[in-house]
């Protein structure tokens, strides 16, 4: 773990959500984390971190569970080879927490700095620097990243008016219609930890990210940046993982390939 250098108070901290069991990628994840699976010859987590550094985020907290902690340390080390100023590892329970509860684990480590939360199996080719700038310019509240898709079935569809999220729908596998869906990048200020403490577990026994974001949306404090271009929920299925691996394998090699 490296020691963070001096920074401005508004410099955001990246929060890489890299726990969970990755059961949809079994048997590849029987002995390792899905975030450590190779995508085009590099760990998936390293490629996700590339997206943060390209957006000017150079301090990252990786939220992991203890099953593969040694493997994360071996693969990512202190983050300097990935262009980070600091990389620290934060424990979460291995099961039954939910994304907001995982985010809550970083509260002692971020102080008043804003956070950029990204799912550890999300790859997207859109530049997130504009998203971060939009968030730092807004006076309060939270922001998420969305994209327009031809079929929102199984995803969280969004209702957006003048850049504000007015509705977050349920993940309905039978709802087949086009629209905006959130991708898995969330930007919050330190008030998010109080919002998380107010959540109650869902029927499946976990806190839910859409319940957290609905708290902001219900008060008109959730904004949205829409992006375009290729993206992949790499942990969604073996087919998704293999498609991402093929895409990055075909790219010309560079010193830090995105």
Question: At the fourth CATH level, which superfamily is domain 13-249?
Answer: Spore Coat Polysaccharide Biosynthesis Protein SpsA; Chain A (3.90.550.10)
Per DSSP, the three-state class of 11 is coil
What integer pLDDT is reported at residue 209 of this predicted model? Answer: 95
Domain ranges of the chain: 13-249
What integer pLDDT is reported at residue 5 of this predicted model? Answer: 40
Closest alpha carbon to 234 in 224, 222, 245: 245
Paired tokens of 157: 């569809």
Give yes or no for a contact between 180 and 105, defined as CB atoms under 8 angstroms apart.
no
Per DSSP, the three-state class of 43 is strand
Give yes or no for a contact between 136 and 12, defined as CB atoms under 8 angstroms apart.
yes
Pairing of strands 231-233, 122-124: antiparallel
Q: What is the mean pLDDT of each run of 10 residues along the chain (258 residues)?
A: 46 93 86 94 97 97 90 94 96 82 96 96 96 94 96 90 93 88 96 96 91 96 96 95 95 50
What integer pLDDT is reported at residue 257 of this predicted model? Answer: 44
- Bond prior to 27 in cis (omega within 30° of 0): yes
What integer pLDDT is reported at residue 9 of this predicted model? Answer: 47
pTM: 0.91
What integer pLDDT is reported at residue 154 of this predicted model? Answer: 85
């Amino acid at each position: 773990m490296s020691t963070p250098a001096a920074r401005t108070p508004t410099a955001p901290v990246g929060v890489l959500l890299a726990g969970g069991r990755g059961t949809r990628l079994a048997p590849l994840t029987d002995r390792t984390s899905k975030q450590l699976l190779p995508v085009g010859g590099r760990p998936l987590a390293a490629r996700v971190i590339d997206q943060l550094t390209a957006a000017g985020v150079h301090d990252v907290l990786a939220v992991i569970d203890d099953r593969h902690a040694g493997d994360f340390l071996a693969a990512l080390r202190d983050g300097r080879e990935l262009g980070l100023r600091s990389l620290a590892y934060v424990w979460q329970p291995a099961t039954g927490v939910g994304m907001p509860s995982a985010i809550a684990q970083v509260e002692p480590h971020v102080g008043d700095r804003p956070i950029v939360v990204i799912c550890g199996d999300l790859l997207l080719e859109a530049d997130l620097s504009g998203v971060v700038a939009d968030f730092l310019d807004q006076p309060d509240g939270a922001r998420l990243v969305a994209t327009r898709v031809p079929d929102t079935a199984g995803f969280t569809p969004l209702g957006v008016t003048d850049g504000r999220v007015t509705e977050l729908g349920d993940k309905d596998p039978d709802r087949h219609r086009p629209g905006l869906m959130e991708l898995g990048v969330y930007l919050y200020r330190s008030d998010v930890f109080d919002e998380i403490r107010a959540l109650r577990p869902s029927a499946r026994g976990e806190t839910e990210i859409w319940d957290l974001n609905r708290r902001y949306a219900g008060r008109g404090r959730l904004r949205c940046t829409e992006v375009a271009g290729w993206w992949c929920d790499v942990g969604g299925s073996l087919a998704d993982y293999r498609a991402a691996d093929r895409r990055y394998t075909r790219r010309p090699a560079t010193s830090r390939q995105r």
